[in-house]
């Protein structure tokens, strides 16, 4: 049954519908693969009994002739999504053994469409990180290894568990979230496809909040088509989320394979930064050539406020985190450390429950929101955010999509950047602009660097125009013909 884990989601769904194998069989194959891959530390909670029960139910539905877009397909869930009765931690000690009495809208949509839950996936604590090293459960190990070294590599973050599982064939697909690049950067570092949809396309209800105006759920998958299938199930208007957009969900899969001849693709000159590794610069040039060969017109565009994006992001995101994380105080749920007074309980609980990176961001956020600094930092950052969005609006008057690198490097060693927060934050340099503007973007694997590690190309689309984005990404995927998989060492 091990061959079943190498299938793409689309191949698995076709096999299930043709009754070439059952949901129980493919679920059992994935559970065995997960058990054998515990050295990756990608799961924080395996749910084999629940998975097999869901698989048996899916098989019964298939036997009755029922249909569902994901019927019988085993997937993994980032442990930021609340799952009813199943422990949800956000990668933090402060939530303790919290078992939500409700289901997030995104996961409820997946179960409605017949998906099977294999377990909860590791992540940076409260999604704050770019290497999956801030998790209370320890770092995830990238299944990829450099040709030159056996050093353990980071899968990126915060959705490192999701990306590693997809790359190692432990799941057919996975949910993830993207606040500043936390879907796309891990996708680039693991040779997988990651989609950050338009802000409001997927409901945030039941997703543990980091920065509410930036957070957006999306899929990590093996192929562009798989990502389209998952996003269609994850999307949809939700009246419980005030930022959820009341728009129809397109058939994203219908855009995969569609001709892109005649499209105008923008190449932002501000993304040509100093010290870009030669392999990444070469891949970007190759991506431009692939799209030109596919009949696109490539146009240089300017996004002049790009250089202010990271500073603005690291004011706005911590400010919102400071507000959102105030609810974790040892009173209603999660961990609690008793003290001599109410203030002692608050302080001791938060000191013990939060990791160092979360504490750092909460302190930064509290500072920029404090009297005397609110106007100087937070309001100014919001004005910069508006300018960044305006830059994209102007660019999309001339082009249909944008092409950039996804990340400034291939996978790096665990521990290499942990001691330098600024170096870690720079991993988001190509991705944060999209979150600040609320636009859709995705990372597609384009090739390997000199050390044999995957590199990704990023396609950015207009708001709510994921269709063109999927068409361009599929054309890149076809041209790149990326078939590499990590050599099994775990």
Residues tagged active-site: 78, 158, 182
> Closest by alpha carbon to 217, among 298, 295, 123?
123
Closest by CA to 119, choosing from 160, 168, 159, 79, is 79
The dihedral sign for the CA sequence 215, 219, 221, 225: negative
Backbone phi and psi for residue 343, each to the nearest 5 degrees, phi listed first: -60, -35
Q: Which residues, including other chains, have CB under 8 Å from residue 327's CB and lie 6 or more apart?
A: none
Quote the tokens at residue 417: 């950047």
Look at the alpha carbons of 2, 74, 170, 18 in this order and tell me if their dihedral is positive or negative.
positive
What is the gyration radius of the CA atoms in the chain, in angstroms? Answer: 21
DSSP-assigned beta bridge partners for residue 265? 298, 401
Long-range contacts of 421-429 (CB under 8 A, 24+ apart): 421/357, 421/360, 424/129, 424/130, 424/131, 425/130, 425/310, 425/314, 426/310, 427/130, 427/131, 427/156, 427/181, 427/185, 428/130, 428/180, 428/181, 428/185, 428/310, 428/313, 429/273, 429/309, 429/310
Question: How is residue 291 written in tokens?
Answer: 């799209």
- 196: tokens are 């950050």
9-17 vs 224-234: helix crossing angle, rounded to 10: 70
CA distance 109 to 97: 24
Q: Which of the 8 DSSP states describes residue 38?
A: G
Evaluate whether 395 touches 387 at the Cβ level (below 8 Å).
no
For tokens 């801030």, the residue is: 134
d(CA 160, CA 46): 16
Q: How many Cα atoms within 13 Å fall on the side-chain side of residue 23?
A: 28
Task: Supply angle C-alpha 303, 320, 371, rounded to 5.
Answer: 100
The Cα-based distances of 10 to 4, 72, 391 in angstroms read 12, 12, 37
Query: Strands of 297-301's sheet, edge to edge?
Result: 43-46, 116-121, 74-78, 173-178, 216-221, 193-196, 441-448, 454-461, 401-405, 264-268, 297-301
Neighbours of 155 (CB within 10 A): 33
């Amino acid at each position: 049954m091990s061959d079943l884990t190498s299938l793409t989601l689309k191949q698995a769904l076709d096999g299930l519908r043709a009754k070439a194998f059952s949901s129980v069989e493919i679920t059992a194959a994935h559970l065995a693969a997960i058990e054998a891959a515990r050295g990756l530390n990608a799961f924080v909670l395996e749910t084999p009994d629940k998975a097999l029960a869901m698989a048996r139910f899916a098989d019964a539905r298939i036997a009755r002739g029922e249909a569902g877009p994901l019927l019988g397909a085993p997937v993994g869930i980032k442990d930021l999504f609340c799952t009813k009765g199943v422990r949800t931690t956000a990668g933090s000690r402060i939530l303790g053994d919290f078992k939500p009495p409700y289901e997030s809208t995104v996961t409820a949509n997946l179960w409605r469409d017949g998906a099977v839950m294999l377990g909860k996936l590791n992540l940076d604590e409260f999604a704050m990180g770019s290497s999956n090293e801030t998790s209370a459960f320890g770092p995830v190990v990238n299944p990829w290894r450099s040709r030159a070294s056996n050093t353990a590599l980071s899968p990126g973050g915060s959705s490192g568990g999701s990306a590693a599982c997809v790359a190692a064939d432990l799941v057919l697909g996975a949910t993830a979230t993207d606040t500043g690049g936390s879907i796309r950067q891990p996708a680039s570092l693991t040779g997988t496809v990651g989609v950050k949809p338009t802000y409001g396309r997927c409901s945030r209800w039941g997703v543990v909040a980091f920065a509410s105006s930036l957070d957006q759920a999306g899929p990590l998958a093996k192929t562009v088509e798989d990502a389209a299938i998952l996003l269609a199930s994850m999307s949809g208007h939700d009246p419980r989320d005030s930022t959820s957009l009341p728009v129809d969900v397109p058939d994203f899969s219908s855009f995969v394979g569609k001709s892109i001849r005649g499209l105008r693709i923008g190449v932002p000159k501000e993304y040509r930064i100093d010290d870009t590794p030669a392999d990444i610069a070469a891949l970007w040039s190759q991506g431009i050539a692939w799209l030109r060969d596919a009949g696109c017109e490539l146009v240089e565009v300017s996004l002049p406020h790009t250089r202010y994006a990271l500073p603005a992001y690291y004011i706005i995101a911590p400010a919102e985190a400071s507000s959102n994380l105030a609810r974790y105080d040892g009173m209603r749920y999660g961990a609690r450390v008793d003290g001599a007074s109410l203030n002692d309980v608050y302080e001791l609980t938060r000191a013990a429950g939060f990791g160092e990176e979360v504490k750092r961001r909460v302190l930064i956020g509290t500072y920029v929101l404090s009297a005397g600094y609110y106007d100087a930092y937070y309001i100014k950052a919001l004005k910069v955010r508006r300018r960044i969005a305006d830059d994209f609006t102007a660019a999309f008057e001339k082009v249909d999509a944008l092409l950039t690198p996804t990340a400034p490097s291939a996978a790096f060693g665990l521990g290499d950047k942990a001691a330098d927060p600024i170096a870690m934050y720079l991993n988001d340099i190509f991705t944060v602009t999209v979150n600040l503007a609320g636009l859709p973007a995705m990372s597609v694997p384009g090739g390997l660097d000199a050390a044999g590690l995957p590199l990704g190309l990023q396609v950015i689309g207009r708001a709510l125009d994921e269709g063109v984005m999927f068409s361009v990404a599929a054309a890149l995927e076809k041209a790149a013909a990326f078939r590499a998989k990590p050599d099994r060492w775990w």
